[in-house]
Amino acid sequence: MKPDSRAVHAGRELKARDPLAPPIVQTAVYVYDDLDDYDAVARGESPGHVYARNSSENPDWLERAVAELEGAETAVATGSGMAAILLALLALAPRPSPLLVQKELYGVTLALLRQDFEPRGYELRYADFADLEAVRAGLPGAALAICETITNPLCKVVDLPAVCGLASGRGVPVLVDNTFASPVLFRPLEHGATAVVHSATKYLGGHSDLTAGVVASGSGLAGDIRARGVRMGTTLGPFEAWLALRGLRTLGLRMARHSASSLRLAEGLAGLAEVERVHHPLLEGSPWEATARRLLPAGSGGMMAFDLAGGRDAVQRMLGRLRMVRFAASLAGVETTISYPDLTSHRALPPEERLALGITPGTVRVSVGIEDAEDVLEDFRQAIGR
């Protein structure tokens, strides 16, 4: 099946008399009347569940669905996207070692690496992953390379197949955060990545009503990830898993609309005198356009950013004039929202580092929803141009 069809049907194999919609199995523990049966399930030798911190029906359905969409052998659901990143990092680099880090990573991921991994002896090697020579130079001796399909917030797209090729030549695993693209637009494992993480809070769930994460990988690595998650208590609850799977069913439709509308907004904002720069990987003239068109032929999703002349004061004026678009420190819902990276996603970074990354006091990140694109553009025009 094509990705849109897989999103509708992935995760469950329906039999006669099964409920069409998955039920919510809201339980913490399961009962047994045979010790050998319990032991076989607990060992993983027989299908079933014993305790919800280990596994349960709803997270299991979500895991199978995401694994199928990503082309992975298996997946592990977690209580948040950051929990998914933490477990993947620990599974791929369990001991202090050098890590090759894309310097444009999500601010909280950078904070995790700096505040929790670096003090424990991990060496962080930062590189611009668009510069393949810089990637090549940082790989020798590295235990792991970590990057994003589309960066947050400036939406850069690197040549991931080339990066994975270089890493494979050195025997270095590659962890990819695929949150902004989703598996209906890009599947990193097909291009050489070792593992893929998602904040399922975002496009997989798609309705801003849950917090969840998923790691998709080969079965051997997933076993390590799952065991760590059980010990650390990062397991996703049944209701959040049910919500995520419910949202997943419309992923293909939503991503097509998000992609078309974000490009339309980018094109419209590029013509405003008050906008100094628009960041969208498929916008004509973008430095990432050629790579994005090759790797993301079906679109790049709903994320974009722009730099507003006048800095923070201009952003505040625009925010006060917006009628439909709202400020919210997350992304990927059906509603169009803006975020201010200086205060939200990258607030943990010092101002000089944000500026070096291209995040200015006038940078606004936009998560374009599924409203009519012309309504979204008109709201920005009247808020910026008055």
The pLDDT tens digits for 115-162 are 999 999 999 999 999 999 999 999 999 999 999 999 999 999 999 999
The mean pLDDT of the chain is 96
What mean pLDDT comes out for the span 48-61? Answer: 96
305 strand-pairing partners: 279, 365
CA distance 53 to 211: 16
- Looking at residue 280, what is its pLDDT? 98
- Looking at residue 238, what is its pLDDT? 97
Which one, of 215, 92, 83, 197, lies nearest residue 142 by Cα?
92
List, for residues 295-328, the tens digit of each pLDDT value.
999 999 999 999 999 999 999 999 999 999 999 9
CATH domain 251-385 topology: Aspartate Aminotransferase, domain 1 (3.90.1150)
Which residue type occupies 22?
A: P
Q: What share of the chain is helix, strand, coil (3-state, %, to 5)?
A: 40, 15, 45
CATH domain 3-248 topology: Aspartate Aminotransferase; domain 2 (3.40.640)
Do the Cβ atoms of 279 and 306 come closer than 8 Å? yes
Model confidence band, residue 386 (pLDDT cutoffs 50, 70, 90): low
- Looking at residue 307, what is its pLDDT? 98
151-339-125 Cα angle (round to 5): 30
Domain boundaries, the chain: 3-248, 251-385
- Looking at residue 349, what is its pLDDT? 87
Per DSSP, which regions of 203-339 are E strands? Answer: 213-217, 275-279, 303-308, 326-327, 337-339
CA distance 386 to 383: 6
Classify 255 as helix, strand or coil. helix
Q: What are phi and psi of 255, to 5 degrees?
A: -65, -35
Q: Which sequence positions are flagged as catalytic?
A: 53, 106, 177, 202
List, for residues 201-244, the tens digit of each pLDDT value.
999 999 999 999 999 999 889 999 999 999 999 999 999 999 99
pLDDT at 361 over 80: yes
Which one, of 359, 300, 293, 298, lies nearest residue 106 by Cα?
359
138-229-163 Cα angle (round to 5): 20
CA distance 105 to 97: 19
Secondary structure of 258-275 in the HEC alphabet?
A: HHHHHHHHHHHHCCCCCE
